[in-house]
Amino acid sequence: MSLISRAVLAVLLGSCAVQADIIAEFEQSLGPGPMSDTATFPLRIDRPEAHHAIDVQAVLREGSGSLRIVDPSGAEVYRHLWGDRVSQELALLGPLETAGDYQIQVDMENALGGWRLRVAEVPDAAQLKSIAFAGPLLGLVGLAFVIGWRFGTGAQWRWLLAGAGLRVVAALLTLAVVLILHFTIEEALEDALPYSQYVAVNGGIVGAASGLAAVAAFLVAGLLFRGARKTAPNAIALGAGAGGTEALLSALVTILGTGMLFGGSPKSGKWMLQLAYDATMTPLLPFVEPAKFTCVTLCLMAVSGLALMAISARRWGLVIPSFLLAAGFYAVLGATPVWALEGAASKWWTVGGAVPFAIVSAIVVRWCLREWPPAAAPDEAPMQAFLRQSATADQGS
């Protein structure tokens, strides 16, 4: 068994060893008109010595409210106040001292909207060691795309490096769009739409802008650098370099963050609670980011291939599917926080939204490699190059 296979097996076994349980989950819609009421819900705690995370979220269009939890003796162990729009908190419940029947008390005053609560018994730090593999696995994804594409297709290193630079350019363009949205229509959107719809629309707009920026960066590179569009491997290398480098940088951040987390950073308590809660909600958590960045890189490879083929073959209509693929992919990624608002806490939902685009992207990459227009010799017309390549292909067959 190879070293990589052993590492993957260790992560699988370590992730499966995480023991956690959701012990209570409640939600309530408030309407159709404003409500003023007090509701009580049961909460059974059998192991008060264990760590318990409480995830509370209220999205109110009007009014206010509060949620508190009392132990069997009537002592308050948790309180959270709700205001307008969204109130959200992930916190450690307790310390708890008594096993038995607790009570969740929800008070509403002219409230309209909805709320959700989830209490989970989360694993301790000793059960979360497998998360340390997330960064190295993500790094392997980035290296696999960059090195695999370089030696698998013969693409030149400079176009892989250029792709990394183009990703930075695209990120700066996206940031400019985000700032414009923030100072123009973002507040109007938040006032006009229910909060979950606002999150979806705003995230979708920012995602579409990110896709447009990526396409624009690849098009500019194709227009400025003839060598980038000369062959399919070079053109697609821009996307492989962009996605692979982004994965490598994210891997570095993840590794540093994990080191600080288990090294006793002053904020490690809050981070550890978030990690423990994510591990409870998300099976095989260390594989989520590697899977997501696999989808990201495949998408960027397809987008760069289509954009540069549009220039190389003078088929400008290919810019449209390139933009639709990029904008749709990043719009879905941008809008995925709304799934958490609707109660879907598993991070695999994000990957699930990205997978269809990744499948389409893999098909597009294969098509680009097969249909790329032949490069003309210095004194050769494009049609002559096409006929020459067709004749060569016929002789080979």
Number of structural domains (the chain) is 2
Residue 266 has what pLDDT? 63
Given 122, 142, 177, which residue is the final one in a domain?
A: 122
Task: Label residue 171 left, alpha or beta by phi (over 0 means left) and psi (-120 to 50 means alpha).
Answer: alpha
Is 391 within the bounds of a domain? no
3 state DSSP class of 250: helix
Is 388 within the bounds of a domain? no
Residue 275's contacts (CB-CB under 8 Å, 6 or more residues apart) are 128, 131, 261
Per-residue pLDDT reduced to its tens digit, 69-126: 999 998 999 998 887 678 888 898 878 888 999 999 999 888 888 888 999 888 877 7
Q: Is the pLDDT of residue 187 over 80?
A: no
Per-residue pLDDT reduced to its tens digit, 301-348: 999 999 999 999 999 999 999 999 999 998 888 887 777 766 667 889
Residue 18 has what pLDDT? 54
Cα-based distances in Å from 116 to 39, 57, 69, 86, 89 = 13, 5, 14, 11, 11
Is 194 within the bounds of a domain? yes
Handedness of CA 194, 198, 200, 201 (dihedral sign): positive
H and E: helices and strands count for the chain: 12, 5
Report the CATH number that the domain containing residue 92 is assigned in CATH.
Answer: 2.60.120.380
Residues 392 and 358: their CA atoms lie apart, in Å, by: 33
Is 3 within the bounds of a domain? no
Does 76 share its domain with 141?
no
**Reduced 3-state DSSP string for 104-141:** EEEEEEEEEEEEEEEEEEECCHHHHHHHHHHHHHHHHH
Does 188 share its domain with 90?
no
Does 56 share its domain with 157?
no
**For residue 281, what pLDDT band results from cuts at 50, 70 and 90?**
confident
**Domain span at 364:** 125-375
Is 393 within the bounds of a domain? no
Does 115 share its domain with 143?
no
Q: Comparing C-alpha atoms, which of 17, 20, 71 is closest to residue 44?
A: 71
Using alpha carbons only, give the angle 248, 129, 118 rounded to the nearest 5 degrees: 95
Task: Label residue 194 left, alpha or beta by phi (over 0 means left) and psi (-120 to 50 means alpha).
Answer: beta
Is 6 within the bounds of a domain? no
Task: Label residue 31 left, alpha or beta by phi (over 0 means left) and psi (-120 to 50 means alpha).
Answer: left
Q: Is the pLDDT of residue 381 over 70?
A: no
Q: Provide the whole-model pTM.
A: 0.81
Residues 20 and 277: their CA atoms lie apart, in Å, by: 9
Is 8 within the bounds of a domain? no
